């Protein structure tokens, strides 16, 4: 028999294109959090990255107004379309962080917010109608380190440690135009050193595929060694070297935002938007969210386990329960199954305990 040549081609190689077309139709979403003290240029950088003006109507508070301000969480959403691809971008701002005299636990509202988004997603995912789940989970957190220091300050270390297992933390050196090239290098080395020393798990760029070409691998290596990125932002256009570029005009020269020898803005933009946006989302889903979920389930079952143990205890000893009965969370299929599992485990342990008690009792009698 004959095997027609053109029947060899099945055609599923077009799958990536089909996925691509569907995603383009659906559009993408991305949630970016920016954190750091006020005056670090966060808003300017966000505007520069996405060529928007998200903070048009912002009013800057003066010091008196900020005296009793606690850390707030403010969301700005903007829809950006480029070459037919739609992006729903959400910027989560954290005004008030690190601005007070006493900044103890000033990151708590931020970690609470991240957890809340996880919790909401968890609930949605476990629910019945999963077609239109809104993904508000934070995919990346840009943390702005002041360029004025000699490395990480206590508040920087504590913040990043509180967040590194909940979100992709990308540390940046803000307002890098006030540092000379050698100062930037020293600061970067110092920060990298301290990140390792304090065990802070910042976002790691994934390894290159072994089949990528040398040039790509070289670029990738440079990128990784450039961390933390020293950035400058600007939305004003200035004239430099005969061209109109985005930059900052000083009496002694012009800083060009997109000039790679001036700052790492281009590298950051490429990483964030052009190459690693999807990876950031994946890591959020596969690692941070799953960690949260596992922890959540573990906490829930542990809670129920203790509850059941207490109930059993009070039943056995006919004592007044010292602990008030707490209302159980709304049971759903998953939880019920786990409860049953734990019940069986409890029963087994109770049986073992009885056996042991019997043995001791017998031993005493002899």
> Residue 112 in contact with residue 141, Cβ under 8 Å?
no
Of the residues 27, 39, 127, 329, which one makes contact with other proteins according to CB under 8 A: 39
Sole window of 73-81, 97-105, 214-222, 345-353 interacting with other proteins (rule: CB under 8 A): 97-105
The angle at the Cα of 284, spanning 227 to 274, to the nearest 5 degrees, equals: 55
237 binds other proteins (CB under 8 A): no
| Options 19, 51, 67, 237; binder of other proteins; rule CB under 8 A | 67
Of the pair 29, 37, the CB lying nearest other proteins is at: 37
Q: Nearest-CA neighbor of 87 among 154, 45, 20, 28?
A: 28
- 107-137 in b/e form (b: 16+ CB < 10 A) is beebbebbeebbeebbebeeeeeeeeeebbb
**Binding other proteins by CB under 8 A: which of 29, 37, 135, 264?**
37
Among 52, 54, 78, 99, binds other proteins (CB under 8 A): 99
Q: Is 4 left (phi over 0), alpha (psi -120 to 50) or beta?
A: beta
| Identity of the residue, 162 or 346, whose beta carbon is nearer to other proteins in the bound complex | 162
Q: CA–CA separation, 24 vs 32, rounded Å?
A: 20
To other proteins, the closest distance from the beta carbon of 112 in angstroms equals: 18
Among 21, 148, 321, 334, binds other proteins (CB under 8 A): 148
Near other proteins in 292-331, by CB under 8 A: none
Residue 305 pairs in a beta bridge with none
Q: What is the largest CA-CA distance in the chain?
A: 103
Rg for the chain, CA atoms, rounded:
27
Q: Give the bridge partners for 169, in sequence order.
A: 141
Which 103-122 positions form the footprint of other proteins (CB under 8 A)?
A: 103-104, 106
User: For other proteins, which is the closer residue by CB, 100 or 266?
Assistant: 100
Select from 150, 144, 140 the least CA-distant residue to 191: 150
Q: Which of 3, 10, 13, 101 binds other proteins (CB under 8 A)?
A: 101
Contact status: 178 vs other proteins (CB under 8 A): yes
How far, in Å, CA of 306 to CA of 348, rounded? Answer: 16
DSSP character string of 137-190: ---EEEEEE-TTSSS--HHHHHHHHHHTTTS-EEEEE-SGGGS-HHHHHHHHHH
Out of 28, 54, 55, 66, name the contact with other proteins by CB under 8 A: 66
- Distance, CA of 171 to chain centre: 12
Instruction: Give yes or no for residue 210 binding other proteins (CB under 8 A).
Output: no
Does 180 sit near other proteins (CB under 8 A)?
Answer: yes
Of positions 130, 150, 244, 274, contacts other proteins by CB under 8 A: 150
186 binds other proteins (CB under 8 A): yes
CB of 241 to other proteins, least distance (A): 11
Q: Which residues bind other proteins (CB under 8 A)?
A: 37-41, 60-64, 66-67, 99-104, 106, 146-151, 153-155, 158, 175, 177-181, 183, 186, 248-256, 259, 261-262
């Amino acid at each position: 028999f004959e095997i027609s040549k053109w029947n060899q081609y099945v055609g599923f190689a077009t799958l990536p294109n089909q996925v691509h077309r569907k995603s383009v139709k659906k559009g993408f979403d991305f949630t970016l959090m920016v954190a750091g003290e006020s005056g670090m240029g966060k808003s300017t950088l966000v505007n520069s990255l996405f060529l928007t003006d998200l903070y048009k109507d912002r009013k800057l508070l003066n010091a008196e107004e900020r005296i009793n301000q606690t850390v707030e969480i403010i969301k700005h959403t903007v829809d950006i379309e480029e070459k037919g691809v739609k992006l729903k971008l959400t910027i989560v701002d954290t005004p008030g962080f690190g601005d007070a005299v006493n900044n103890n636990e000033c990151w708590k509202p931020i970690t609470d917010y991240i957890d809340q988004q996880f919790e909401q997603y968890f609930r949605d995912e476990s629910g019945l109608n999963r077609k239109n789940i809104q993904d508000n989970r934070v995919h990346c957190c840009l943390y702005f380190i002041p360029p004025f220091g000699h490395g990480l300050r206590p508040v920087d270390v504590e913040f990043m440690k509180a967040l590194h297992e909940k979100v992709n933390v990308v540390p940046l050196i803000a307002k890098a135009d006030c540092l000379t090239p050698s100062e930037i290098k020293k600061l970067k080395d110092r920060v990298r050193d301290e990140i390792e020393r304090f065990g802070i798990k910042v976002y790691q760029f994934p390894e290159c595929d072994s089949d990528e070409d040398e040039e790509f691998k070289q670029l990738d290596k440079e990128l990784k060694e450039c961390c933390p990125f020293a950035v400058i932002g600007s939305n004003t256009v200035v004239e430099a070297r005969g061209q109109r570029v985005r930059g900052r005009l000083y009496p002694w020269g012009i800083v060009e935002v997109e000039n790679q020898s001036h700052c790492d803005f281009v590298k950051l933009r490429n990483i964030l938007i052009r190459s690693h946006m999807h990876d950031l989302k994946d890591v959020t889903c596969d690692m941070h969210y799953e960690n949260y979920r596992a922890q959540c389930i573990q906490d829930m079952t542990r809670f129920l386990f203790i509850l059941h143990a207490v109930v059993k205890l009070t039943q056995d000893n006919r004592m007044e329960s010292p602990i008030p009965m707490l209302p159980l969370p709304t049971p759903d299929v998953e939880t019920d199954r786990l409860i049953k599992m734990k019940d069986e485990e409890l029963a087994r342990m109770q049986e073992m305990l009885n056996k042991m008690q019997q043995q001791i009792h017998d031993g005493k009698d002899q």
